[in-house]
Amino acid sequence: MSAQPLAGIKIVDLTRVLAGPISAQMLADLGAEVIKIERPGTGDDARAFGPPYLVDPEGKADNNNSFYLCANRGKKSVTVNIARPEGQTIVRELAKGADVMMENYKVGDLKRYGLDYQSIKAINPGIIYCSVTGFGQTGPYAPRAGYDAILQAMGGLMSVTGHIDGEPGEGPMKVGPSIVDYMTGMNASIGILAALYHRKVNGEGQHVDVCLFDTVIASLSHWLQIYLVNGTTPPRRGTWGNGGMPAGVFRCTDGELMLVVGNDGQFARTCAVLGAPELAADPRFVKNNDRVAHGEEIMAIFAGLFLKKPLAHWLDELEKAGVPSGPINNFEQLFADPHVRERGMRIKVNHPLEPELSLIRNPLTFSGTPIKDYRAPPLLGENTREVLSSSLGYDDAKLDELKRQGVI
């Protein structure tokens, strides 16, 4: 097998919470050495975002919680107080020998520490410096802090998410997970990889500006394009699909399924499965555009038909007919699914506080450079002495003095 795609790439990671750490974790999975800079004593803000926490041998909860664990595997944790001049010097020295530096501080904050792009570029002209923020490096909102839920609201996502108007519980709704953070992390990784390739070809480093606001706007894709084409904002559709029709959640005698009828052929086969083949010839429903125009009618008809038999029956028959459908899995059902098990989406790593800690694997699968060496998210400051000794040549006496002063 070949070396990991990013073997030999060194990253200094000053990001915290989720979007930036997710990106750095993806790059660590791909073989990059990621040095995570954390505050002495407290570490990444995510470590204090609430339970559940891992516990130490005495049963006491520490600062390794689920929020932190999901976004920091494969990294090295180095504690540095960047508010101290000595701490700033450490980060600059690490950045001098790095390929990439990542940060998600408020715009302008790192300039006062001499850790902004221009300062780092002066000592490492080829550096790829990625800033991950709520609103970007420019514009009237640039100084603001940004969190996922705020950007879901401001970026338009919540305006088109939620129950259909007129139904109980109508109104804007947040998507459950921090989906904008995750998408921003992916965009940051793409930007860094593109900049690394550009540097390889042209020898130039650069500043990569990635933000949650831009990401959520871009993610609205065809929904936002509808508005750009005709000035109309699509209505909230609850679980209804936004392409083929009918599409949505249907209740069976013992559970619910999600159905998406993507074309006219699938519609005819679904009607046959439901025991109502005549619906495929009904003038209201022959073509997809017809079914969209008569959406409430066809959804109501299908709802009545699905209520006649159990979930397993419909899923089996729809699969035989080649019609996309699936159960509404909870997390327990998800990890019990044979396909999920075969794909290995749940991995085990050896963590000091949990010998077989379960994590979610990287979703990328490579034929030549498979990701196999998953390493546990580090304990706070776990690698401080190792990194500063091997990368910067600090001896024990210097490390002890920096520790005594609260710099590391």
- 10 Å CB burial of residue 246 (0-12, 13-18, 19+) is buried
Triad 43, 376, 372: Cα angle to 5°: 145
What are the CA-CA distances from residue 128 to residues 75, 200, 202, 341, 392 (Å)?
18, 11, 13, 37, 20
Task: Tokens for 297, please give them.
Answer: 């009618």
Rounded distance between C-alpha atoms, residue 79 and residue 42, angstroms: 9
Active-site residues: which are they? Answer: 181
Is residue 220 within 8 Å of residue 183, measured between CB atoms?
Answer: no
What confidence score (pLDDT) does residue 276 get?
97
Please report, in tens digits, the pLDDT of each residue of the chain (408 residues total): 578 999 999 999 999 999 999 999 999 999 999 999 999 999 999 999 989 999 988 888 889 999 999 999 999 999 999 999 999 999 999 999 999 999 999 999 999 999 999 999 999 999 999 999 999 999 999 999 999 999 999 999 999 999 988 889 899 999 999 999 999 999 999 999 999 999 999 999 999 999 999 999 999 999 999 999 999 998 898 888 877 899 999 999 999 999 999 999 999 999 999 999 999 999 999 999 999 999 999 999 999 999 999 999 999 999 999 999 999 999 999 999 999 999 999 999 999 999 999 999 999 999 999 998 899 999 999 999 999 999 999 999 999 999 999 999
Is residue 326 within 8 Å of residue 259, measured between CB atoms?
Answer: no
**R_g over Cα of the chain:** 25
What are the CA-CA distances from residue 111 to residues 36, 125, 408 (Å)?
19, 17, 21
Is residue 192 within 8 Å of residue 28, measured between CB atoms?
Answer: no
Rounded distance between C-alpha atoms, residue 101 and residue 27, angstroms: 12
Closest CA to 157 of 135, 185, 176, 133: 176
Q: Which residue has the tokens 């715009």?
A: 107
Host H or E run for residue 186: helix 179-202
Write down the architecture of domain 10-219+345-404 according to CATH: 3-Layer(aba) Sandwich (3.40)
pTM: 0.94
What confidence score (pLDDT) does residue 354 get?
92
Rounded distance between C-alpha atoms, residue 9 and residue 226, angstroms: 42
What confidence score (pLDDT) does residue 62 get?
84
Is residue 46 within 8 Å of residue 181, measured between CB atoms?
Answer: no
Is residue 117 within 8 Å of residue 185, measured between CB atoms?
Answer: no
What confidence score (pLDDT) does residue 1 get?
55
The partner residues of 13 in beta bridges, in order of sequence, read 36, 102
Side-chain-side CA neighbours of 208 within 13 Å: the count stands at 29
Buried b or exposed e, range 121-138, using 16+ CB within 10 angstroms = beebeebbbbbbbbbbee
DSSP track, 69-81: HTT-TT-EEEE--
Output phi, psi for 126, to 5 deg. Answer: -90, 5
Buried b or exposed e, range 384-400, using 16+ CB within 10 angstroms = bbebbeebeebeeeebe
- 10 Å CB burial of residue 73 (0-12, 13-18, 19+) is buried
Closest CA to 69 of 359, 371, 383, 363: 359
What confidence score (pLDDT) does residue 242 get?
75
- 10 Å CB burial of residue 259 (0-12, 13-18, 19+) is buried
Rounded distance between C-alpha atoms, residue 235 and residue 295, angstroms: 13
Where along the chain do its domains lie? 10-219+345-404, 247-327
Sign of CA dihedral 15, 17, 22, 25: positive
What confidence score (pLDDT) does residue 244 get?
83
17: left (phi over 0), alpha (psi -120 to 50) or beta: left
Host H or E run for residue 297: helix 295-306
Closest CA to 351 of 164, 106, 74: 74
For the domain spanning 247-327, the CATH number is 3.30.1540.10
Rounded distance between C-alpha atoms, residue 377 and residue 67, angstroms: 11
